[in-house]
Structure 1
Amino acid sequence: MKKLSPSLVAVKRITSKVPAANFADRDLDKLARLILDAGGLIHPIIVRRVGIDAYEIVDGDFEYYAAARAREINAFKGETIGAFILEPENEELLLEQVAILRKSGIIENLAANETPKESLITENSSQESESLEAPSSFEQRLANIEARLENQINELKAEYTREKELLAERIQEVENLFSQQLPLLIEAQLTNKINELKSESVSAQPTLVDTVQSVEQVTSQPMSLLDALNTQDKIQLAAHLKDAGLKPPVIQLILKERDVRPFASFANVVERIKGLTDKTMIKIIDCWQKYS
């Protein structure tokens, strides 16, 4: 039989049947950083082959989880771990060693924590002895589960805060958009109402005097921007729009579109004219006031 020596095994190829919750996170973190600082683990684990390139822990679950934590911290330094691999020729002997070492460890722990009855009889009654009892495996697992739950709760709280902030930002964006669009919507509604009233008045048969008075009233009042976009002389309208800052291609598109069909509202103008935005429309409305 060849001399027993540890091999380097990829940590990601190893599995354990013992839950990681059996071990304290702080102890795993501490050993993981020591493994990285020292460049390896001084106590090789024992594994069994379960596949072509897969292994299962036989002894050393704590060391394995510490090595896995080291790999999470630094994937390059913590990529491998020293391990004795059970082979057909040495499996029986290694398993026997493991059984003896485990049994020896249990006996030593019991002996270290046991207090002889004779010492209790001979001790002075004024002296008090304190016994430190290590937490059971169940208690340790419960503590680890509570710590993980607390971390998850904190993560959920942080996510809730982020979602709340994002929702507030979206609400603010909607409010800003509404405040920008509201004047245009009101103007469009008023324009539609005026057009309806005009159509109703056209259906009536006015007298000659009423017609003359209406003509005089219309000619004495300034033309509205929407009416100008639909009916004003093209040369005069183009000059006014150019003065408002519109580019010639946009002006030509307005003149072309009004020949197709009249604009129903300012919102309809923005919708049909490519390159014309809400802000530009508001600027044209403001600029048109000087012609009033």
Structure 2
Amino acid sequence: MKKLLVSLVLVKKITSTVPRSNFADRDLEKLAQLILELGGLINPIILRRNGMDTYEIVDGDFEYYAAVKAREINPMKGETIGAFILEPENEGVLLEQVQALRKSAKTENLVENPETLFLEENTSSQPADSIKNPVSLVEVPKSCENETPQSSSSLEQRLTNLEAQFENQINELKAEYAREKQVLALSIQEVENRLLQQVSLLVEAGLANRINELKSELPTEKQVLVERIPEVKKVTSESMSALEALNNLDQSALFANFKDAGLKLPVIKTIIEQRGVRQFTSFANVVERVDKLGDKTMIKIIDKWQKYS
């Protein structure tokens, strides 16, 4: 059988078929103040589920209405109430215990108040099972000077119930703290990931800008080549007949002569394509516009230019 534990239930989720007017407002007010002062009831009520998250009173109507009064006084402190909830596996035993306690409470009441015998006899004819919400197990406090002190066993039981209630509250707080801690850790991790991404993008953008600046500051490789190769400079000042042959010679003849000079097919095609786009203005211009055309190859072509005419 599942161990019986005290559960914290929202007061607003509980209903009672016993009218509130059955209890004196003065007594409800007194117990409500005690509930707020202590932080809860020392005697949990008994509930039965009648919905997904709603309950009805089986025993403890007086305590319930006192808790309602406490919630009216201070909604923050009086929001929940300790309760035993009937489950299929423990309902029978729990109801038997309620009946036994009720019988004991009636006997004590008869001993202390013989004048109630007539009222008990009139109600004893009704079977116990027909009472949906039996009388509360806790006596309504009496405003008299001579109060009978509680027995040590009853006090111990109430202290045990109170400890169980506090333990449940502490466990709920621990679980809530763990959930909030996990959410906070995930949020921090997400912020760190975003910062790392932003830093990475900024670094890459900075490097790209600097590379572009350096490229714009440095002359191209072909410009340096043209400026530093004396042979090319010398050729550019020579007669333009070779350059004219390069610009105007028939493609088949030009192709044959270039191949004889040792040029590769892609370079020859590029020269012919560039010539078709725009005529070359100098041999230096040829070197600049044709990829993979080196200075030595250009000099070799110039040496054989007389074959192109």
With normalisation by structure 2, the TM-score equals 0.37
With normalisation by structure 1, the TM-score equals 0.39
